[in-house]
Amino acid sequence: MAFNLAQSGAAAASFAPSTARRVAAPDSVTAQRNAYQMPSLRLQRREACKPSVAPSRPAMPMACRAHGSKARRSGVPVFVMMPLDTVNKCGSGLNRRKAMAASLAALKSAGVEGIMVDVWWGTVESEGPGKYNFAGYMELMKLARKTGLKVQAVMSFHQCGGNVGDSVNVPLPRWVTEEMDKDQDLTYTDQWGRRNYEYVSLGCDAMPVLKGRTPVQCYTDFMRAFRDHFADFLGNTIVEIQVGLGPAGELRFPSYPESNGTWRFPGIGAFQCYDRYMLSSLKAAAEAAGKPEWGFTGPTDAGGYLSWPEDTLFFRQDGGGWDSQYGQFFMSWYSQMLQDHGDRVLSGATSVFGSTPDVHLSAKVAGIHWHYGTRSHAPELTAGYYNTRHHDGYQHIARMLARHGAVLNFTCVEMRDHEQPQDAQCMPEGLVRQVAAAARAAGIGLAGENALPRYDDTAHDQVVGTAAERAEEDRMVAFTYLRMGPDLFQPDNWRRFAAFVKRMSKSGSCREAAEREAHGVAHATGSLVHEAATALRC
């Protein structure tokens, strides 16, 4: 997800955090990476990577030749996120059909591997339980196939709207919110009684609270309906299923909601464990630990959404409750509840897609990089990531994903430490390294996203360095670019983006060579890109 800091420029934009692969044995990251590329595409990349010198072109700079001598045979495929409102609210068709056709054609011409699209639960199953309308998404899949683009389909079981970057409003299905209105403990709840309708509380995962079905059954039935409806596209056009596991599609608690100004960067957020289902689980865990007095509430000294760690007794560096026996118990329980939720939903996804050839699962983890330099890592803790100076929380998440052969999709890949506000001890580069190490240790692939739209070379250089210019075993399996829109198709932005795609796909080609190719792409697609930009603004 993204945050509006009311600032401009690349550095200001970088302050914010976010929003193919086979279900196979998790001991082969290289196999997962190669599975993204259909044979014909692999051949094209091998041919593209062969050195060639055209007499009509200027000589390649010495630095570029030296760098190019280390060019690798395969790169990182780039996907592009579609607009949030790609499909209209009733689900019957595409918004801006003309723009979609021109945009996809332009992306294909730039060497993009495919697109990512949110398949909204609130759109598809809006008319009632088990009544699915995929008509608009079918139109998109046909267009993608015609254009020759692959598709990453996101099973979006969360609400769209209420956070910066959410340009449209897609609530949960009406019949779901009706049940949440009747029993507000189906919503995530903080210690002040604030209810959050972004995602059904994981505390009731196994309870038949949604018209006789459990939430996990609803998610699994939705994915099964998707599989059956798009059977002819799975494995050839649709190559990835990203399974939504929480707000913004991320495996986390909604600890930093921006709606109504509840949270602002870089606040630490707040624990979301005060609905009666979560409290019932906490009570049982405390009794099992022989500490029943710990089971009545979460930490009461953890500050508020806008607090900083040192403002609180629980998160302060010296003597904070996070490092006490109680704090360790609570954080272990809170984070385990989140991991168990991911495990349950991914088990459903594996049962649906696990036997489908060339369809690959992924799950998204949020890039919570602010206050990362502190000992307690407070914002990560409130989100459910038990990651402190003494405890690596991402290893446990990666191992859970490995059980399902799922790739770990991570954001904030474009950020640099020095671009962030130093007083908030933001360390996105260190966080990305830690998550990458966890994925590597678990034997799963790591994919990436940028947290905010960035069209500048500085952000592109950071992504290329983090994702592509690495040894084969450390390279990301894919990168998804946020987001397709009129700004992407502005001439300068489009030229830089085309160069970025070339650099990613060739893993080792230098910027100068990629820019020369990008000029050709920009010239050849000028009218198409203009048409796309104009139509998207309508």
Cα–Cα dist 121/115, whole Å: 19
Whether 246 contacts 152, CB under 8 Å: no
pLDDT on residue 165: 58
pLDDT given at position 164: 53
Burial 411-435 (b: 16+ CB within 10 A, else e): bbbbbbbebbeeebbbbbbebbebb
Q: Cα–Cα distances in Å, from 270 out to 53, 56, 175, 298, 457?
A: 58, 61, 28, 10, 36
Query: Residue 372: which of 516, 482, 456, 266 has the closest Cα?
Result: 266
Q: State residue 289's pLDDT score.
A: 98
Instruction: Give the span between the Cα atoms of 479 and 490, in whole angstroms.
Output: 21
Question: Among residues 484, 369, 486, which one has the least CA distance to residue 429?
Answer: 369
- Phi-psi map region of 443: left, alpha, beta (phi>0 left; psi -120 to 50 alpha): left
Provide the pLDDT for residue 534. 87
Residue type, 488: L
How far, in whole angstroms, is CA 209 from its chain's centroid? Answer: 28
DSSP string, 333-350: HHHHHHHHHHHHHHHHHH
The binding site for substrate comprises 118, 158, 166, 364, 369, 411, 450-451, 483
Q: How far apart are CA 403 and CA 186, in angstroms?
A: 28
Using CA atoms, how far apart are residues 79 and 238, in angstroms rounded to an integer?
12
Say which DSSP state 467 is in. I
Q: What is the dihedral angle through the alpha carbons of 167, 172, 173, 178, rounded to the nearest 10 degrees?
A: -130
Q: What are the tokens at 327?
A: 């704090």
8-state DSSP, 320: -
What is the model's pTM? 0.87
Half-sphere exposure of 371 (CA within 13 A, CB side): 25
d(CA 184, CA 95): 34
**For the chain, what is the radius of gyration of the CA atoms?**
23
Between the alpha carbon of residue 30 and those of residues 200, 407, 413, the distances in Å are: 36, 12, 20
Closest to 334 (Cα-Cα) out of 287, 376, 367, 382: 382
Rounded distance, CA 521 to CA 513, Å? 13
Rounded Cα distance, 509 and 329, in Å: 49
Binding residues: 118, 158, 166, 364, 369, 411, 450-451, 483
For residue 401, the surrounding DSSP H or E stretch is: helix 393-402
Cα distance between residue 331 and residue 329, in whole Å:
6
Q: Which residues contact 349 (CB under 8 A, 6 or more apart)?
A: 155, 220, 223, 241, 243, 361, 404
Strands 195-200 and 187-189: antiparallel
Q: Which phi and psi angles does 74 have, rounded to 5°?
A: -135, 155
Give CB contacts under 8 A, 24+ apart, made by 222-228: 222/121, 222/124, 222/125, 222/132, 222/155, 222/157, 223/155, 223/348, 223/349, 223/352, 223/353, 224/352, 225/132, 225/134, 226/119, 226/132, 226/134, 226/153, 226/155, 227/352, 227/353, 227/356
**pLDDT value of position 168:** 87
- The CA distance from 374 to 382, in Å, is 14
Active-site residue list: 250, 449
Q: What average pLDDT values come out for the chain (538 residues) when binned by 10 residues?
A: 35 38 40 45 33 34 34 77 95 94 96 98 98 98 98 97 71 98 98 97 98 98 98 98 97 95 96 98 98 97 98 96 98 98 98 96 98 98 97 98 98 96 97 98 97 95 94 93 95 96 81 86 87 85
Give CA–CA dist 362/404, Å, rounded: 9
The two tokens of residue 478 are 């894919």
Backbone angles phi, psi at 396, to 5 degrees: -65, -40
Phi, psi of 210 (to 5 degrees): -115, 85
Structural tokens at position 532 = 């796309």
Residue with tokens 């332009």: 106
What distance in Å separates the CA atoms of residue 45 and residue 380, rounded to the nearest whole number?
Answer: 39
DSSP type of residue 234? B
CA atoms within 13 A on the CB side of 82: 30
Helices (H), 464-525: 491-506, 511-524
Beta-ladder partners of 94: 87
- Separation of alpha carbons 110 and 526, rounded Å: 12
